[in-house]
Homo-oligomer: A and B are copies of this chain.
Amino acid sequence: MPSRQFSLPQQDCVDCPIRHRAVCARCESDELEHLEAIKYYRKYEAGQTIIWAGDKMNFVASVVEGVASLTQTMEDGRRQMVGLLLPSDFLGRPNREVASYDVVATTDVMLCCFRRLPFQQLISDNAHISQRLLEMTLDELDAAREWMLLLGRKTAREKIASLLSIIARRDASLKELPSRGHVAFDLPLTREAMADYLGLTLETVSRQMSALKRDDVIHLGGKRQITIPDFDLLMNETGDDADGGML
């Protein structure tokens, strides 16, 4: 099957929606010019696999729009999502040729790609890029560890509540709305993707969603439109500290 990805016309970095959060956040205008020279855009449709584990990757990229997931698969088909890539998140690893995980577009996705070798060169020359990349990697590591607590110790109900609160919160921060009181958002994941994320089966996800609805913690309009009447009520179900912890 031929790839459906295609290139898009060059866009100006200064207009970029992720300009101040992505790996290029700290760059000055002359540094941006170097990046402009090696960047190109690619678009993927929802459901498309961007990279298979084991593939050779000749680029790294920032997610500009949409949601993608990193997934590990065992021989017998058991799957675990190990990362969720949102706008401004970084994809790929400098100095590594081969992808470690499957990367799948959960929604339509736009990537800002950099050819890997020139990008590696930039990293060793340019402190602003490598410092920002370090910072972002440390944040991802913190998120991965938070997730390990969820996978290892939380109940199914707590897992669902935690996932909803995470998505609600980042959705709010994107729209610059407060994440308290009444909150509404679109769920960009299928029940199966939620199950892969949470280490559950899709039946258990469905059951717990129904239970949270029955208990008026969430309301559903259609399958994907979520309304949370009281954000504190949801937070009580996550098992986390009431005050949001130290992160």
Contact = CB atoms under 8 A, between A and B. Distances in A.
Report how many copies the assembly holds: 2
A189 interface: no
A14 interface: no
A149 B72 contact: yes
A141 B142 contact: no
Interface string A136-148: 0110111011111
A124 B148 CA distance: 31
A152 B149 contact: no
Nearest to A70: B145
Interface residues of A, number: 46
Contacts of A148: 72, 80, 82, 144, 147-148, 151
A74 interface: yes
Contacts of A123: 131
A49 B208 CA distance: 38
Contacts of A240: 74
Contacts of A215: none
A223 interface: no
A152 B239 contact: no
Contacts of A133: 134
Interface stretch (A94-102, A178-186, A226-234): A94-102
Contacts of A152: 80, 151, 198-199
Given A80-B148, A148-B147, A53 B246 contact: yes
A134 B142 contact: no
Contacts of A53: 246
Contacts of A239: 74-76, 78
A38 interface: no
Interface in A29-86: 53-54, 70, 72, 74-76, 78-80, 82-83
Contacts of A54: 246
